[in-house]
A and B are shown apart, each in its own frame.
Chain A
């Protein structure tokens, strides 16, 4: 059998030639030839994109950065509840990665990681692999559909959206809200902590109520919370529901949804079956799947333990984890992911240059919740590294707004503009 050039290329594409000549596997399967010290980042959300930009910026472009992302566009999850309320469209929250490429020279690979090899220091994609000196895993969260009987990724995409990653499901949920009858019930199921964006479900209740108040005033919002109480900004949310949407928002504690029926829209808790018109089930969460592939998930089988000076995994050398996937008493928010990304970026630059990371990192988080079309309130904290506990702990001060206000609603919009520019421009 003889191979002509065309056959050879076909076989290479299929991976057969790589297997036939194992000695050449590394060079022939490498998607982008590695020229200098390289960091591969998996996940181009708030954390991953920030790490990419800051490694390039702070290393004077000396370190090569490859960012692997399965989506072609960046969609902001923060503020995406306002798409339900109607003050924004999903398009308003969508950005591209062009500036990261053109201004910072980041290599962007649009694809999905299928495996990670910590020994060979490479991540595998369908059409080849990328070798790394250090790897950053920033996949955000994955959903534990198996914790709720009758629920699945398919059902969430088609009939019971979680809409907990901004995009198609946010739009689907908005459509369901628009076509709901007046007098209907819109139910939001909140998972047990920890989950992405602690105040998010309660903000969502406000945004849905904001829409219903002027469009379907006889309707109700029902919150089925798996937690024993409202987990964030409790007083502020209670006040918003009472003042802005009287009689419209009903809250039930210790009401974890255990089962759903997509055809009848019945949600089952330990105490009751609830039949509703729109069912929005936010499932329990865990670190994104790629964390499992890399072997960096902790003994809880959910989150990734890290060294908070560098965000390097405590389980795998040269693999760092940032953002929602990290196991910590830190809020899983967009701002927090960017703050972690910068400490990680600084540490990687130090480590690659043979020095030690900053021994005393302090990072901040500011999280606004929009409770109407114009008003918001915040929770803000500084977190510092505690050497004895080897953990990030809340610094003195910090806390929530005294009251919701239009000033903070305006600041929330400035926050969005500034953070998106910090991450992507």
Chain B
């Protein structure tokens, strides 16, 4: 009984450590955070839209980048997003995507 408990604790610790390290390594930097901060007026704090606009929090990184590139090129028609997308570089789309992907729903 005692050894099973110990084993459970060990497993829990290992799992816990893995989660913590994953969170640390996936943590977006301040640059990513600052770039996305302007998006909040329409898409909510950290991408948590409270109504109407798409929720960007936890959006798949690849999906975010593709959509921004499509808005930028005009491949995907938009009401407002094309104006913003043209103002950022592809590298900045990657940074923004990192930040949103790291947010929890």
Give A residues with C-beta under 8 Å from B.
54, 58, 335, 338-339, 342-343, 346, 350, 358, 360-366, 378, 380-384, 395-399, 401, 405, 407-408, 410-411, 413-415, 417-419, 421-422, 425
Contacts and interface: CB of A to CB of B under 8 A. Distances in A.
B39 A342 contact: no
A108 B81 CA distance: 36
Interface string B66-105: 0000001000000110111111100010000000000000
A335 B83 CA distance: 15
B6 interface: no
A415 B38 CA distance: 12
B40 interface: yes
A398 B87 contact: yes
A417 B92 contact: no
Contact of A421 (B45, B88, B92): B45
Nearest to B40: A422
Nearest to B37: A342
A358 B50 CA distance: 28
Given A411-B52, A414-B52, A418-B41, 8 more contacts: A346-B34, A358-B34, A360-B31, A365-B38, A381-B83, A397-B72, A401-B79, A418-B50
> Which 8 pairs from chain A and chain B are nearest by CB?
A397-B86, A382-B87, A414-B52, A395-B87, A364-B38, A380-B83, A342-B37, A422-B40
Contact of A396 (B33, B41, B86): B86
A418 B42 contact: yes
Question: How big is the B interface, by class?
Answer: 20 to 34
Nearest to B72: A397
14 contacts: A338-B38, A343-B37, A362-B87, A380-B80, A396-B87, A397-B82, A397-B86, A397-B87, A398-B86, A398-B87, A411-B42, A411-B79, A418-B49, A418-B52
A418 B51 contact: yes
A325 B97 CA distance: 33
A328 to B, nearest CB: 15
Contact of B30 (A350, A380, A397): A350
A364 B39 contact: yes
Contacts, number: 119
A413 B37 contact: no
A358 B38 CA distance: 15
B33 A58 contact: yes
B53 interface: yes
Contacts of B79: 378, 401, 405, 407-408, 411
A397 B83 contact: yes
B40 A411 contact: no
Nearest to B85: A397
Contacts of B82: 397
B56 to A, nearest CB: 11
Contacts of B45: 421-422, 425
- Residue of A58, A338, A361, A422 most packed against chain B (CB within 10 A): A422
B92 A362 contact: yes
- Residue of A338, A381, A421 most packed against chain B (CB within 10 A): A421
A412 B80 CA distance: 11
A380 B30 CA distance: 24
A420 B77 CA distance: 27
B28 interface: no
A259 to B, nearest CB: 39
B101 to A, nearest CB: 19
Nearest to A334: B41
Contacts of A360: 31
Contacts of B85: 397
A138 B83 CA distance: 28
B5 to A, nearest CB: 34
- Residue of A343, A360, A365, A382 most packed against chain B (CB within 10 A): A382
A399 B41 CA distance: 18
Contacts of A362: 35, 38, 87-88, 92
A418 B83 contact: no
